């Protein structure tokens, strides 16, 4: 007899069937109102601008110090990270840098520099 996993308990690593990335992202976004950063809009925008302008790994890590401190005590860090991945987010989420939904610590060029073939 096969065991069934309820739809709300999707094991990591298993393919998600019948649930779109948009629906998963929307569900994760509902919890953002409970985030520790909810009243830090201006500060967060400044932190993201600083992070985006960094050129080296060391300066990127330094730019994450303050947002990471806010996220350290946040009850929805996992949901925030999930939303960043699902939505292809570029910026700071869950105390870490993201670029197109992936961790962004290995960038080799300036963020405003165009790639050439």
Domain boundaries, the chain: 21-103
Q: What is the DSSP letter of 75?
A: T
Residue % of the chain over a pLDDT of 70 = 63
Q: Given this model, what pLDDT does residue 3 score?
A: 45
Q: How far apart are CA 89 and CA 103, in angstroms?
A: 10
Q: Is the pTM of this model over 0.85?
A: no
Q: Is the pLDDT of residue 105 over 80?
A: no
Q: Given this model, what pLDDT does residue 30 score?
A: 66
Residues 37 and 44: beta-carbon distance below 8 Å: yes
Non-local (6+) Cβ contacts of 101 within 8 A are 84, 85, 86, 87, 88, 89, 90
Q: Is the pLDDT of residue 50 over 70?
A: yes
Q: With cut-offs at 50, 70 and 90, classify the pLDDT of residue 97.
A: very high
Q: How far apart are CA 60 and CA 97, in angstroms?
A: 8
User: Residue for token digits 């401190």?
Assistant: 69
Residues 67 and 94: beta-carbon distance below 8 Å: no
Q: Given this model, what pLDDT does residue 83 score?
A: 87
Weakest mean pLDDT among 50-59, 64-73, 100-109: 100-109
């Amino acid at each position: 007899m096969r065991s069934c996993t309820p739809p709300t308990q999707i094991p990591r690593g298993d393919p998600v069937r019948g649930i779109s990335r948009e629906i998963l992202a929307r569900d994760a976004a509902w919890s953002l109102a409970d985030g520790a950063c909810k009243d830090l809009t201006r500060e967060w925008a400044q932190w993201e601008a600083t992070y985006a302008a960094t050129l080296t790994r060391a300066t990127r890590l330094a730019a994450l110090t303050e947002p990471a401190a806010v996220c350290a005590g946040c009850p929805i860090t996992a949901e925030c990270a999930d939303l960043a991945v699902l939505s292809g987010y570029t910026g700071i989420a869950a105390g870490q840098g993201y670029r197109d939904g992936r961790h962004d610590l290995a960038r080799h060029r300036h963020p405003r520099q165009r790639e050439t073939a």
